[in-house]
Structure 1
Amino acid sequence: MARVSQEHLDARRRQILNGAARCFARNGFHATSMQDVLREADLSAGAVYRYFRGKEQLIEAIVTEVLDAIRDTFESAAAQTPPPPPDVLVGRVMTEVLTERSGLPYEGEESLPRLMIQVWTETLRNDRLSATMRQGYSRVHEAWVGVVEAYQASGLMRDDVPAEHVARTLIAAAQGFAAQQALFGAAPVSVLQDGLRGLMSMGRQKAG
């Protein structure tokens, strides 16, 4: 029997996550059955259960993947001297996640925000998923703190405010924008960038 390549295994896993993410975003976590996922992914039960034992493992895998991708983007930015300003950096991350997606299993600009709302709701009752979210958030927060500390070290941001507090606020801005996308309809990432630029301009004298 021919040995299955890692590339084939990775592609099959992606196919399953694609189908699950679409189902969760469209119908919600509890209204989605594993049969729905099988139909959406166009795979047999045996093919899917080889990778995931149930919906809980699917949603955990999706959450971990998204948060890791966001963290990697911020860590790369923190390595730059100085990092891109907040409006540019947050805009880059939101554009990558919402539209370009860098291989993430989501289709359509509204899909990921809707999925995020479903995940946040599920964490209130699912301790295992809540732990996964806390771990992922901690990694993202740590990466953002690194970015803020780089801003402060380069003189781009005042250093008398704890970097942890700034990081948490910037994460909240991105999360809030995603929630608005899900609840009130898609808006271009430039809206968020313009808002951040406006806040960043407070205290500056208007030219002329």
Structure 2
Amino acid sequence: MARVSQEHLDARRRQILDGASLCFARNGFHATSMQDVLKEVDLSAGAVYRYFSGKEELIGAIVSEVLETVGDTYERAAQETPPPLPDVLIPRTLARLKEVKSGVLDSGEWVFPRLMIQVWAETLRNDELAVVMRTGFDKVCAAWAKVVESYKAAGLMPEDADADAMARTMIALAQGFAAQLAVFGAVPADVLQNGLRALMSMRTPDPAA
């Protein structure tokens, strides 16, 4: 019997993750059954369970993949000279996520924003998923902190700037914008970039003025 290539295994796993992401974004975790996932990916139960033991493991794999994508984007940015500023880096991160989670719902909505809201809600009741989320979030914060340190090295920020505080704030901006996309629909791509540039242009007022 011919051995199945690693490429085939990876492609099948990708097919299952993409199909499950569509199902979860469309109807939420609790309203989606494994039968729904099987129908979406057009595979037998045996083919799917070879990769994932059930819905919980699928959810964890999707969350881990998203967080790894975000962390990798920031790690790469920290190595650039000069490092990309937030008005470039955050839209870039959302664009990377759109590549990884490229599915589109029947309504035309991009999968990731709706999926993100589902994940955060599920984390409040699912202790195992909360651990996955916390671990991944800590890694993303650490990667963003490296970007902040590269800003300092390039003379773009004061040496005493709080790297962790900035990391959490920038992540919150990306999450908040994604939440707006999920709730209100498509927003022009340059809105986030223009808003960040406006914020970055602010200066502390001169008391003597």
TM-score using structure 2 length: 0.92
Which residue is equivalent to 1:89? 89
Shift of residue 95, structure 1, vs aligned partner: 1.7
C-alpha distance after superposition, 1:39-62 (max 9, x if no partner): 000000000011101111001111
* Matching of residue 183 in structure 1 with residue 162 in structure 2: no
Q: Which runs of 5+ in 2 are unaligned?
A: none
Q: Which runs of 5+ in 1 are unaligned?
A: none
Higher alpha-carbon deviation: 149-158 or 33-42? 149-158
Shift of residue 10, structure 1, vs aligned partner: 0.7
The answer as to whether partners of 2:69 and 2:96 remain within 8 angstroms in 1 is: no
**Matches of 2:82 and 2:35 in 1, distance apart?**
49
The answer as to whether partners of 2:20 and 2:58 remain within 8 angstroms in 1 is: yes
Instruction: Give % identity.
Output: 65
Tell me which stretches of 4 or more aligned residues in structure 1 moved more than 3 Å: none
The answer as to whether partners of 1:16 and 1:48 remain within 8 angstroms in 2 is: yes
Higher alpha-carbon deviation: 51-60 or 88-97? 88-97
**Matches of 1:204 and 1:182 in 2, distance apart?**
34
* Matching of residue 107 in structure 1 with residue 107 in structure 2: no
| Matched AA of 1:66 | V
CA-based RMSD of the aligned residues comes to 1.4
The answer as to whether partners of 2:113 and 2:181 remain within 8 angstroms in 1 is: yes
The answer as to whether partners of 2:101 and 2:111 remain within 8 angstroms in 1 is: no
The correspondence of residues 82-161 of structure 1 with structure 2, limited to 5 A, is 82-98=82-98, 101=99, 104-108=100-104, 110-161=110-161
Which residue is equivalent to 2:164? 164
**Matches of 2:69 and 2:139 in 1, distance apart?**
11
| Counterpart secondary structure, 2:2 | coil
| Matched AA of 2:40 | E
The answer as to whether partners of 1:60 and 1:132 remain within 8 angstroms in 2 is: yes
TM-score using structure 1 length: 0.93
